[in-house]
Amino acid sequence: MKTIVAAVDFSNATLGVLEMAGSLAKAYGAQLHLLHVIEQEPTYTAYGFTPDEYPVLHEFQEEAKRRAARKLEDLLASVAGDFPGASVHLVEDSPLHGILDYVKQSNADLVVLGSHGHGVVASLLLGSVAEGMVRKAVVPTLIIPAPAPA
């Protein structure tokens, strides 16, 4: 095992994902990649609008990318002592497709991501990245449950 991708969403599941991915990377001497996927900027071209007509959407997207990049760098700093070769990657896509594409691109051997434990109705309406990864996984995928609310 050479490359482990820790897909993080900055939720309460992130700490467990980092701990497990870090433990496995240490045990196997693998490279650790911290990945966050941010939704793509919405477009309204189907409705006849251009991005220039809604510049605030672009500004919002750019701010979201800046904040995500800062959070990734903070996570990297928290593991840098144990994993000097760790790297961060910010991808714009749908979460599921972004993770799947990055896994292929990086030749990852394992993906670790969190699950929020939404109910059946929420998963049906919103979808589940964890469930999608299990169904479409091209490499072993480890799902870490989010801690139960106190």
Per-residue pLDDT tens digits for 25-40: 999 999 999 999 998 8
Averaged pLDDT score across all residues of the chain:
85
CA dist 128 and 132 (Å) reads 6
Counting Cα atoms < 13 Å in the Cβ hemisphere of 68 gives 21
Question: What's the pLDDT at 44?
Answer: 65
pLDDT of residue 2: 95
Q: What percent of the chain has pLDDT over 70?
A: 83
What per-residue confidence (pLDDT) applies to 138?
Answer: 87
Per-residue pLDDT at 4: 97
Q: What pLDDT is recorded for position 57?
A: 73
CB atoms near residue 56 (< 10 Å): 7
pLDDT digits (tens, 9 = 90+) for 42-82: 766 666 666 677 677 778 888 999 999 999 999 999 888 88
pTM as predicted = 0.85
Higher pLDDT, 120 or 40: 40
Tell me, what's the pLDDT at 124? Answer: 44
Domains and CATH numbers, the chain: 3-145 (3.40.50.620)
